């Protein structure tokens, strides 16, 4: 990695991507499905890079639907639409989009999306088989990264590390954002296991590789909160919010402000986050259900509401993550037997991440005290 490449960073990439997107929009042939897919793919890349809110992704999904109405058999449009559906927690839409084009699920990118759907549903074996087959047919760094995330979700930290190594090995020196993204995932893995120093090292490596990216700053803010450095967390969250004003970052700022004793400011941030989460759910959207459940379980406790949100989330994605959260919300509501059943269901699926195991131990201890 050269200093010149590292110096380019986030802002230069955003500017270059926007120029390229505008050029393609100006030159696009309205009768060409390839041109439509290219423009929409560039819009999606820009949205992801700049931290688009879920409602922005929903608006982009509508644009892809318009293109699919004109070019229903174009694979790239269907792959993009299915990916957008999963990003906003609508596996039903993703499945419909994939199934509507025979043979799409047999292409490597289609296999990856089908495996994503399997993981979303808690079928970890099918997800692994799908990723492995896609990797054999068309090796890609992001497929290796998916295998790493799956290994972490099922409790195999050693395999996760190995798969992240493979993902990094598949990257070129110019793919600095992808390298930084993988380093962030490795930092998250360290943080989930309580290795704060390891997480800090990985996040610092990501920041050096791709400076100025709000995504890395957000992770460092969360780390600062976990490390009981609320002033550092506050500064980092404000930095993120100048780039990306999303409710989860308002919530994080509120939690850091509360830890610093700034209760009125914390309450204002938490109120704003809760209002945004609730408004999304009231619109029938699903991507903030788990945020609502976690918020009502641990941030501003409302145990019955937490259970209700977690139950809605688990009806959509009955995987280890959702069941772990449901169990925790039930536990916080004093419903220990139901909480134990939820985490046992998660473990039976093959889930085994650090947070699930910690929650299972805590719930189990409470059950033993009342046995």
Alpha-carbon distance 200 to 216, whole Å? 11
Please give the pLDDT value at position 2: 38
Is the separation of the CB atoms in 210 and 180 below 8 Å?
yes
Instruction: Give the number of other Cβ atoms within 10 Å of residue 171's Cβ.
Output: 17
Alpha-carbon distance 328 to 311, whole Å? 11
Query: Tens of pLDDT along 305-364?
Result: 999 999 999 999 999 999 999 999 999 999 999 999 999 999 999 999 999 999 999 999
* Cα atoms found within 13 Å of the Cα of residue 199, Cβ hemisphere only: 21
Give the pLDDT mean for 145-150: 98
Alpha-carbon distance 56 to 244, whole Å? 12
Is the separation of the CB atoms in 225 and 253 below 8 Å?
no
Q: What angle do CA 286, 288, 42 make, to 5 degrees?
A: 80
The owner of tokens 């930290």 is 157
Alpha-carbon distance 241 to 243, whole Å? 5
Please indicate, yes or no, whether the overall pTM of this predicted structure exceeds 0.75: yes
Whole-number Cα distances in Å, 223 to 168, 233, 266: 23, 8, 18
Query: Tens of pLDDT along 220-277?
Result: 999 999 999 999 999 999 999 999 999 999 999 999 999 999 999 999 999 999 999 9
Please give the pLDDT value at position 370: 61
239 CB burial (10 A radius; 0-12, 13-18, 19+): middle
């Amino acid at each position: 990695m050269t200093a010149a490449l590292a110096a380019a960073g986030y802002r230069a990439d955003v500017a270059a991507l926007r120029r390229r997107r505008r050029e393609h929009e100006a030159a696009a042939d309205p009768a060409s499905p390839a041109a439509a897919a290219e423009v929409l793919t560039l819009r999606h890349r820009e949205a992801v890079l700049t931290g688009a809110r879920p409602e922005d992704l929903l608006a982009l999904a509508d644009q892809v639907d318009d293109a699919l109405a004109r070019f229903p058999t174009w694979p790239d449009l269907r792959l993009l639409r299915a990916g957008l559906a999963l990003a906003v927690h609508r596996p039903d839409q993703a499945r419909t989009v994939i199934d509507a084009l025979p043979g799409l699920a047999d292409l490597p990118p289609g296999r990856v999306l089908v495996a994503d759907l399997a993981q979303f549903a808690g079928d970890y074996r099918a997800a692994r088989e799908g990723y492995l087959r896609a990797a054999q047919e068309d090796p890609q760094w992001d497929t290796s990264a998916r295998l790493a995330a799956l290994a972490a979700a099922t409790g195999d930290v050693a395999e996760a590390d190995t798969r992240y190594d493979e993902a990094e090995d598949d990257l070129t020196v110019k793919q600095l954002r992808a390298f930084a993204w993988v380093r962030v995932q490795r930092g998250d893995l360290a943080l989930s296991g309580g290795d704060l120093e390891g997480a800090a090292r990985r996040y610092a490596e990501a920041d050096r590789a791709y400076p100025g990216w709000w995504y890395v700053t957000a992770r460092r803010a969360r780390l600062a909160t976990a490390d009981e450095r609320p002033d550092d967390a506050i500064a980092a969250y404000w930095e993120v919010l100048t780039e990306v004003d999303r409710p989860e970052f308002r919530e994080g700022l509120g939690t850091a402000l509360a830890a610093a004793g700034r209760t009125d400011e914390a309450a204002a941030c938490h109120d704003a986050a809760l209002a945004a989460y609730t408004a999304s759910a009231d619109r029938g959207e699903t991507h903030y259900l788990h945020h609502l459940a976690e918020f009502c379980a641990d941030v501003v406790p409302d145990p019955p509401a937490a259970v209700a949100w977690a139950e809605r989330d688990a009806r959509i994605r009955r995987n280890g993550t959702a069941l772990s959260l449901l169990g925790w919300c039930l536990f916080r509501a004093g419903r220990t037997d139901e909480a134990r059943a939820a985490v046992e269901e998660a473990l039976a699926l093959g889930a085994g991440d650090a947070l699930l195991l910690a929650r299972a131990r805590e719930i189990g201890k409470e059950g033993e005290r009342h046995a």
